[in-house]
């Protein structure tokens, strides 16, 4: 192939690819976008792809968004904080399946306090096909703003269905109840539950504690609330206080597996046996929970929470331009994974 003349200071265009392959610009678009229902020979497809590779051509996402009114992006604004490993695993699986459906997931970090119309305008600049965001960051005006900008689906994430738009429902209360139920069924009679004091995790911790408290109340059991930063010294102080108290809790739900590791070390350092003196349960069932000694019991999210199924659901919302707040998907079916720590 003979390279077409082009300025060295600009990226190659679809016109350059068409010239090099000896086809029309429309054919280049059909081939590189895998347009359905268009008959193009395998030989021509191979020539177009070879020309694109030779020139280093990449389609211009912004130009495509201008032409269609939206991009292929699924935008997920997330708070600018460290996110746990379970979120990372879920996001990787969600990204992979969305990619198979022709969409790209983009995580947009920023201030979690940004909400309403001002935040929606910033998100709309990306011309996303869908926005996936915490329910409390949306207002009715924000949803209208995104729809007006061409966003096909606005998806809230929250503990209950939103009154504004379709929702991914993540029921943290069910996680807390499952942990407390397991501990009570193991004969534990004085429960404790860790509530992270980090601002971003606080709401999740409150709901999980609410689940523990509801289950404990239903069974007539006391429950101690432990507000705790992810801090070794703080955990050690809690464990030392319990070690000196004859009426200490005999079981603790540690919010998640990471906090469970923190509490396990603190309890052992304080001379308390796990599970002999204090049973311990985490949540998320991270892979390394089964590698510690003792192995950590954990609440596992199963079934409907799969990232692949969620991606398919989001793809359907985009396709159908579904806006009804009556539509929601439950992300939290849970089961206990009993191990040595309880």
Question: What average pLDDT score do residues 61-88 get?
Answer: 66
Going along the chain from its start, the domains and CATH numbers come out as 14-59 (1.10.260.40), 68-171+305-331 (3.40.50.2300), 172-303 (3.40.50.2300)
> Given a cut of 90, is residue 208 above it in pLDDT?
yes
**Are the C-beta atoms of residues 285 and 220 closer than 8 Å to each other?**
no
**Are the C-beta atoms of residues 266 and 236 closer than 8 Å to each other?**
yes
**pLDDT (tens digit, 9 = 90+) per residue, 95-115?**
999 999 989 999 887 665 677
Task: Compute the distance between CA of residue 215 and CA of residue 211 in angstroms, rounded to an integer.
Answer: 6
pLDDT tier at 304 (50, 70, 90 boundaries)?
A: very low
DSSP symbols for 34-84? T-TT----HHHHHHHHHHHHHHT----HHHHHHHHSS-SEEEEEEESS---
DSSP symbols for 263-332? HHHHHHHTT--TTTT-EEEEES--GGGGTSSSPPEEEEEEGGG-HHHHHHHHHHHHHHT---TT-EEE--
Nearest to 85 by CA among 282, 231, 280: 282
Q: Which of 64-78, 186-200, 257-271 has the highest mean pLDDT?
A: 257-271
Nearest to 154 by CA among 319, 33, 317: 317
Strand order in the sheet with 328-330: 104-110, 73-79, 130-134, 153-158, 167-169, 328-330
Please tell me the least confidently modeled range out of 68-72, 163-167, 307-311: 68-72
**pLDDT (tens digit, 9 = 90+) per residue, 260-291?**
999 999 999 999 999 999 999 999 888 888 89
H/E segment holding residue 111: none
Residue showing tokens 């995580």: 107
**pLDDT (tens digit, 9 = 90+) per residue, 219-229?**
999 999 999 99
Question: What average pLDDT score do residues 189-195 get?
Answer: 97
pTM of the model: 0.71
**pLDDT (tens digit, 9 = 90+) per residue, 174-189?**
999 999 999 999 999 9
Task: Report helix, strand or coil for 130.
Answer: strand
**Are the C-beta atoms of residues 313 and 157 closer than 8 Å to each other?**
no
294 upstream amide cis, omega within 30 of 0: yes
> Given a cut of 90, is residue 88 above it in pLDDT?
no
**In Å, how far from its chain's centre is CA 81?**
13
């Amino acid at each position: 192939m003979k390279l077409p003349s082009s300025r060295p200071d600009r990226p190659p265009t679809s016109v350059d690819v068409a010239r090099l392959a000896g086809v029309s610009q429309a054919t280049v678009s059909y081939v590189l976008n895998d347009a359905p229902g268009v008959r193009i020979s395998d030989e021509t497809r191979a020539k177009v792809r070879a020309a694109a590779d030779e020139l280093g051509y990449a389609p211009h996402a912004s130009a495509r968004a201008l032409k269609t009114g939206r991009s292929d992006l699924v935008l997920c604004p997330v708070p600018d904080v460290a996110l746990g490993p379970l979120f990372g695993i879920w996001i990787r699986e969600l990204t992979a399946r969305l990619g198979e459906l022709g969409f790209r997931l983009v995580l947009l970090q920023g201030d979690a306090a940004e909400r309403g119309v001002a935040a929606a305008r910033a998100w709309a600049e990306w011309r996303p096909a869908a926005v996936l965001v915490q329910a409390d960051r949306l207002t009715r005006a924000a949803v209208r703003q995104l729809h007006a900008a061409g966003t096909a689906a606005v998806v809230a994430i929250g503990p209950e269905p939103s009154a504004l738009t379709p929702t991914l429902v993540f029921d943290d209360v069910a996680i807390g109840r499952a942990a407390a139920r397991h501990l009570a069924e193991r004969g534990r009679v004085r429960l404790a539950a860790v509530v992270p004091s980090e601002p971003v995790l606080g709401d999740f911790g409150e709901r999980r504690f609410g689940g523990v408290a509801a289950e404990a109340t239903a069974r007539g059991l006391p429950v101690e609330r432990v507000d705790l930063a992810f801090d070794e010294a703080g955990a050690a102080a809690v464990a030392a206080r319990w070690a000196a108290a004859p009426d200490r809790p005999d079981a603790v739900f540690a919010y998640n597996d990471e906090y469970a590791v923190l509490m396990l070390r603190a309890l052992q350092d304080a001379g308390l046996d796990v599970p002999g003196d204090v049973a311990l349960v985490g949540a998320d069932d991270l892979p390394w929970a089964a590698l510690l000694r003792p192995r950590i019991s954990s609440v596992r999210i199963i079934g409907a929470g799969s990232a692949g199924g969620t991606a398919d659901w989001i793809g359907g919302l985009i396709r159908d331009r579904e806006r009804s707040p009556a539509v929601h998907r439950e992300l939290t079916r849970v089961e206990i994974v009993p191990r040595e720590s309880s």
